[in-house]
Amino acid sequence: MRACLIKNGAKDDGSSVTTVQRATSSILNNISFPMTLYDFDEDFEQFNKYVAEEEKKDKSMFEELSRVKPHHLVTGGDYEVIYEGDKPYSTYLVKVEIARGLYSGNTFYRMQLLRDKARGIIVLFTNWGRNGDTGQYQHTPFKTIEEGHQEFVKIFKAKSGNKWENRDNFQRLPKKYRLVTFKEQNRAKEYLKKINFKDPNLVSSTLSPIVFKFMRRVCNSKIVTKNARWLDNRLLPFHNLTKDRLLEASQILNHIKEIIDQIEKKKDQEIKYDPETADLLTDLTNEFYTLIPTT
C-alpha cells in the first residue's frame, strides 16, 4: 500500500510503519479495571435468608387472615378473639329436639371471649336463639382474662355437659347441646366461580360427550348453590359438609327407613302406640339435624 501511494504522488515523510500507534484497544491494555469477585456460596446463603424471611411474613399474614374473627353482632369496641395457644375461645353449640316442635326444639348457643385491643377490656359475648334467627345476644365485661375464662368454661360445661379442656374428645350427651366443629371460611356462593364452557379461549375437551356433560354439571356453581339452599351455612359452612359427615347422616336415614318399613308392614294389624319406637325415631331425627343443620 505504501508503494502504491508513492507511485500516485504521495510524499514519503520517512516515518516507519512500526511507529504507528495501535488501535484504541491497545489503550485499554494500559488501564487498570477493578476486579469483582463473586462468592456464590455467600450469595446462596443470603438468598436462603431472604426466602425464609418472606415465608415468615407470608405465614404471619396467613395466620392473621385465618384467625377467628369476632361475630358480626359484637359491638362497642375494636375486639379480637382471645386464643389459648392456637385454640380460640370461640364455640358454637346446637340442640335439636323435634319433639318440642320445629322451632322451639332447634336452637343454638354461641360464645366468644374477646379483648378490646384499644382499652384492654375482656368481654364474654354470648348469642342464643332458634336456628335460622339472629337470636338474642349479650356482652359481659370482666376485669381479667382469668375471670372471663372461668365464666366461659362454666357456661360451656352447663350447656354441653363437657369440660372445655376436653372439647377435642367431645362426648354427646342426651338433652345437652352438641358441639359444632368447623373452620369459618367463605360461603359457597362466594368462592364457587362460574365457568363459561362456551368460551373460545378454553382448550377443547377430549372427553366423550356424556362424560363432558356430567363434568359440566358437577362444576356448575349455580346448580351447587341452588341445591345447597336447604343447608344452614351459618351453622355448617358448605366446605365443612365432609364425606364422613354425609356418610354418617346417610346411615341415620337408612336406619329411619328400616324402622318405617317395619311399621308399614304392620299397618293392617291393630297396633298400640309404641313409645320406644317413637323415641328412637325422634332421637335419630335429632341426630340427623345435628349433623346436617338446616334452616
Using alpha carbons only, give the angle 165, 171, 172 rounded to the nearest 5 degrees.
130
Confidence of residue 287 (pLDDT cuts 50, 70, 90): confident
Q: Could you read off the pLDDT of 62-81 as tens digits, one per residue?
A: 445 567 888 888 988 889 99
Convert the chain into a string of H (helix), E (strand) and C (coil).
Answer: CHHHHHHCCCCCCCCCHHHCCCCCHHHHCCCCCCCCCCCHHHHHHHHHHHHHHHHHHHHHHHHHHHCCCCCCCCCCCCEEECEECCEECEEEEEEECHHHCCCCCEEEEEEEEEEECCCCCEEEEEEEEECCCCCEEEEEEECCHHHHHHHHHHHHHHHHCCCHHHHHHCCCCCCCCEECCCCCCCCHHHHCCCCCCCCCCCCCCCCCHHHHHHHHHHCCHHHHHHHCCCECCCCCCHHHCCHHHHHHHHHHHHHHHHHHHHHHHCCCCCCCCCHHHHHHHHHHHHHHHHHCCEC
- Predicted pLDDT at 289: 82
Segment of 5-9, 12-16, 34-38, 44-48 carrying the highest mean pLDDT: 44-48
Residue whose C-alpha cell reads 354427646 in the numeric block: 172
Q: Could you read off the pLDDT of 117-127 as tens digits, one per residue?
A: 888 899 999 99
How far is Cα 101 from Cα 289, in angstroms, rounded to an integer?
Answer: 13
- Predicted pLDDT at 62: 46
Using CB atoms within 10 Å of the CB of residue 140, give its burial: 0 to 12 exposed, 13 to 18 middle, 19+ buried: middle
Q: Could you read off the pLDDT of 184-235 as tens digits, one per residue?
A: 544 444 555 677 777 888 788 888 989 988 888 877 777 766 766 666 555 5
Question: Lowest-pLDDT range, 27-31, 110-114, 185-189?
Answer: 185-189
How far is Cα 272 from Cα 106, in angstroms, rounded to an integer?
Answer: 29
| DSSP bridge pairs for 130 | 107
- Predicted pLDDT at 246: 87
| DSSP bridge pairs for 129 | 108
Q: Is the pLDDT of residue 55 over 70?
A: no
Confidence of residue 290 (pLDDT cuts 50, 70, 90): confident
- Which one has a higher pLDDT value, 201 or 268? 201
How far is Cα 129 from Cα 137, in angstroms, rounded to an integer?
Answer: 9
**Domain boundaries along the sequence of the chain:** 79-179, 188-291
- Predicted pLDDT at 187: 44
Q: Output the average pLDDT for the chain.
A: 78
- Predicted pLDDT at 30: 64
Q: What is the pTM of this model?
A: 0.56
Question: Lowest-pLDDT range, 22-26, 252-256, 261-265?
Answer: 22-26
Amino acid at 178: R
How far is Cα 10 from Cα 293, in angstroms, rounded to an integer?
Answer: 109
Confidence of residue 183 (pLDDT cuts 50, 70, 90): low
The pLDDT of 135-153, averaged and rounded, is: 93
Using CB atoms within 10 Å of the CB of residue 249, give its burial: 0 to 12 exposed, 13 to 18 middle, 19+ buried: middle
CB 123 within 8 A of CB 135: no
Amino acid at 102: L
How far is Cα 279 from Cα 265, in angstroms, rounded to an integer?
Answer: 19
Confidence of residue 282 (pLDDT cuts 50, 70, 90): confident
Residue whose C-alpha cell reads 377435642 in the numeric block: 168
- Predicted pLDDT at 49: 80
